[in-house]
Chain A
Amino acid sequence: MLPTVIIVGAILLVAAAIWLWRLRRMTAVPHPSPTNESSPRDPVSTEFLAPERRDDTATKPSAATASTAHKRSAEQKLPLLGPRGDSQRRNSEKPTRTDTSSGALVVEPTTPPGPVAQEEVTSKGANSSDTKWEAEPAPDSRLRDTFATGTRKKLDVVVHNPTLESLPEDTSFTVMAPTTDPPVEPGDTSRNIGSPARTEGEFPEVRASEAGLQPEMSQPLVDESEACASSETRDRGHARASNGDSISTTKAPNDSSGPTNTQPNPSANRPATAKVTEIAGRSDNLGPPSDEQLAKKKRTATRYQPAARTPKTTRRRKRTAPVLKSSPDRKTNRARSLSMSVHVSFGRRNRCKVSLLPSRALDMPESVEVKQAGGLETWDALQDEWYSNVLPVDLGAALRRGRVWELADTSEDTAWSFSGRDICVLAQGSTISGYVSVPRLMLGEDHVVLCTKQSLEAVQDALRAAGCSMSDPKSGGGIPSGWCMLSGVRPTVAVAHDSEAGIINILRPIQDVEITLRHGIRLSHSKWLCGHPPTIGVRGHGELHVDVLIDEQPARLDESGGFVSSGWDDRGIHTVFCGGQTQAYEIVEGASSWQPFQSFTYRPTQGRAPKHEIVICGPIVDVIGDTENALLTPSTNSLLLGAVPGQIASSSAPYDSLNREYLALADFPVVWTAPPNALRCDKSNACVRLIQFEEAENGRDVPTGTSREDVLRWCQAILDASRKRLPVTPHSDSTLELWLGYKKVARRLWRKLR
């Protein structure tokens, strides 16, 4: 009995010692030091308002304060938020509690170096705040002294981030902050983070990759569905304050509507914290994220829930960002992470080809050079949205572990990332043939599922639960090693998602409405040729009835199976709304004027000067140079005559030509062709041929630009043909009359100049 008590006591002592050690470690977390003035870490992007005021009305800034709160540039703003790694790590270690006065979840500092206040940071909404966020205290020099007093106050946070448009206006979050307000001078905008002059397109997107993370770390650990969903959340996450100033902040996905959970659930609030620290991660001194951070990201993504969407809140804004990006003075060091999709195409004998399909942004060039493990590789644009397929040697491993391709051009921090996974869901692409990876199974649609052999059983179970008809799993024959493929997967039953299920959720179709724009003649991204608009469809709604609005007008199904409304195919931008989804398209005119070009260029083979070149473009045959004229002439008629006396040229047919006609060149508009020596030609075969109808110039003297000898030659050629009585073709009165006029001019000039 006694030894047992001793052992238990020893264990308790050891446990207590460990607990104390850990407590000391926690309290030993580096905290902003008042002496660390030059440290760039952890500045806070907050503006202090009236100190010691706790009521909500006091938290709302005056108009003057609010206006000054937005004058700070992004460059000033971004470093204000601490490094991602440190802040996240510390946040994860801090205990939380619920603020009894407001119900907000706040972070308790474990061992502040001095009395630390909690400051509620309230967005500029009009209503009372329910959503509480947490941010880090900052070692800003103006704040360091305030750590001494330990009071609690409201902060007005202006964080520029286009991710949270749908955030309720009354969202607030709590920030650990110094207790004593630093002296804020009227008009001091040094702590303001936003600039009202910014357009929304100027706001850089906040992504993990932009935060300077390693590409492997920056890529989402969930499939593209969640990435897209997050992207959509970011798109609509740009809020505007009531005074017209833009406010961007971050918000937990599950906080998208209504009051937020005020329970001290760290995981529920972590997304918001993670988002904030993503912004914070934009500072330069970042370390690689820890596994814990990555785990947080994963958990965050799986909890995504779409916000309530209406035609107005989901309306797409005009894309201005790419244009701004391309301007030289907008060059920044922003990191950009682009997605890499899986592409499966079927070939002969149902052999499939699995590859990766890099996405292409609007402002990206036709060809890019990309760094990868094997060296540099060039990707050419396949179409507007895609670069050409990428086929890594170890595709199976790449699918399983993920991979990153970085742009070789180091001036742009751009990378394509593919997150590793065990299951890929693909559906028929709307812009490319074959199957392209999609976020999850869609009801009633035909899919292909790629999965590792280890996860095959779980996949088949999940597909059965979704009422899928499917083929037997196949492997080999173009499928990456270690993987197998299930084709003909068509789910019929919606299955609720479960956060514990992880990646299996992508095999659980939900009532996920998607607006499809197919057919028509698509010129680029979302532009269709006028007169050939897209067929607007909706998929993913199963048998449920859905209301479709086009330009906010109710749409109806036409005989072709597409939704239409009045003016839906007129020129301009149109918006389709259905089931919380919005899709925009534009009807534009294509090119309407085209110019000939030099497609084929040949030198004449009959010995003309090499400067003359014949140009062919489609059926058009022309000669380079404005003064050149090419005409078909019988091989017997090598003498070319113009309308001006003295315009005469001799063009010989190719020596080996068997053709009856050849292409003759002249520097003047040719009116007639005649045999070179009319008096000696065979009258039965020879003729004078009219090329174009033009009266002879009836001058009294030698025309300008011609010589007397040329005029005499011109006259002699006409008179000889006349003396020989060569037939004139085509046989018509007008032709004969024209020929007589030429004879008269020639005879008169011959008599005068002889």
Chain B
Amino acid sequence: MNPNDLLLWLSAKGSGSWARYRSAVDELQSLDEPSNADQDLDDGVPESGSLPVHLRLRLNLERLGHVEFFRDDFPDGWRIVPPTLACDDTGLQAVLCGARTDSLIRQVEDAIDGVSMQRSTQRECPDVIHVVVEEERHMQRVAAAADLYLQPRAVSQLLAAVPPIDDMQMRTPAELPFGTEWDASEFIAEKLGWISVEADKARAADSGLFRFHIHFQPHYFVKLRGRSFRIPVQVGKYLMLRKARQRVTTYDRDAMVFAVPVACRPPLLIDRALTLCTGRVPEVDKGHLIYRNVGNDKAIAVRALLRQ
């Protein structure tokens, strides 16, 4: 499996359906892996975490700001983000996000003198490309020369733009599913896990985060004071953690390391902001996601958004 090829494919196509994405992963995987290895990779035997390979790749592509999946304009598909230099607060270093082609990378390299491009690999992700310049204004010249979008202070801007988890914009009023064929489970903040409950009990509950399963498709709902809302699962978990007054995030100011339990991955945009601090996806260590190079002000902002 070569995620670089996958990103090139996604960039060349521009947009597409989820099925096309899956088949592309499937095709690239079937070509690059020996036939026997297919069996292990193909059917949900994850090498890390608990997700199959196409979902792990999707998550990483979203974290790194290359591709967006399942948004309002394309509810069943994906779309590539335009190539963008996501600058850090100094403006001297940027991560290349979004679409990528061979010629575009050559353009960045050849844009101006004094620009250096550092390429590093990471597992199940496209290569990370850091663009380093000597002066802040050089970054604008690189972006102009290579026809890239430039996002100054990308991490800070993202964190400033995202509403906190208890904002009404983060959830949508919705009725809980009816019928007896649903498998329901409830999130328990103390255990950071799910327990099975009867669907009727979930419907009658006054509060809580519930997962309704049907045909292997999970749907997440939160109940607050008897009202039910559809909600992204990560947002719902942090809402329940806040309700339980439980703190799960840790921050080491000296090492600039921000950590959360694997079960409590931050909502996507916060996850993206923390990932773009280094351009590398978080490491998994002892059941925690480790984000590095997170400044103090950013850690405070993240905690504020997560209500931690």
Interface residues in chain A, defined as those with a beta carbon under 8 Å from any beta carbon in chain B: 345-348, 350, 366, 380-383, 386, 388, 428-429, 431-434, 446, 518-519, 521-523, 529, 531-532, 589-592, 594-603, 605, 614, 616-621, 630, 632, 656-663
Contact = CB atoms under 8 A, between A and B. Distances in A.
A594 B19 contact: no
Given A523-B9, A602-B161, A382 B23 contact: yes
B80 interface: yes
9 contacts: A386-B23, A523-B13, A590-B12, A592-B101, A616-B162, A618-B82, A620-B81, A621-B157, A660-B301
Contact of A616 (B101, B161, B303): B161
Given A348-B39, A659-B301, 20 more contacts: A347-B44, A348-B40, A350-B39, A383-B20, A383-B23, A432-B26, A589-B12, A590-B13, A590-B101, A594-B14, A598-B72, A618-B68, A618-B86, A618-B97, A621-B154, A621-B158, A632-B156, A657-B304, A658-B301, A660-B301
Main secondary structure of the interface of B (DSSP, over half): helix
Interface string B139-173: 00000000001010110111111111001010000
Contact of B151 (A518, A589, A620): A620
Contacts of B83: 594
A433 B38 contact: yes
Given A446-B35, A523-B12, A433 B30 contact: yes
Q: Is the interface of A mostly helix, strand, loop or mixed?
A: loop
Nearest to B8: A521
Interface of B: 5, 8-9, 11-14, 17, 19-20, 22-24, 26-27, 29-32, 35, 38-40, 42-45, 65-66, 68, 71-73, 79-84, 86, 95, 97-99, 101-103, 149, 151, 153-154, 156-164, 167, 169, 269, 272, 276, 297, 300-301, 303-304
Contacts of A663: 157, 160-161
A347 B42 contact: yes
Contacts of A656: 164
A602 B169 contact: yes
Contacts of B19: 380-383, 388
A597 B68 CA distance: 10
B161 A346 contact: no
Given A523-B9, A658-B300, A619 B154 contact: yes
Contacts, number: 185
Contact of B269 (A347, A521, A616): A616
A599 B43 contact: no
B128 to A, nearest CB: 13
A347 B43 contact: yes
B247 to A, nearest CB: 15
A380 B17 contact: yes
A381 B17 contact: yes
A519 B31 CA distance: 6
Given A596-B149, A660-B297, A346 B86 contact: no
Contacts of B43: 345-348
B39 A529 contact: no
A348 B22 CA distance: 19
A431 to B, nearest CB: 6
Interface centre among A521, A590, A597, A618 (most CB of B within 10 A): A618
Given A431-B27, A621-B161, A661-B160, A591 B12 contact: yes
Given A620-B81, A660-B300, A532 B8 contact: yes
A521 B7 CA distance: 10
Contacts of A432: 23, 26-27, 30
Contacts of B42: 345-347, 433-434
Contacts of B98: 594, 618-619
Nearest to B40: A348
A434 B33 CA distance: 12
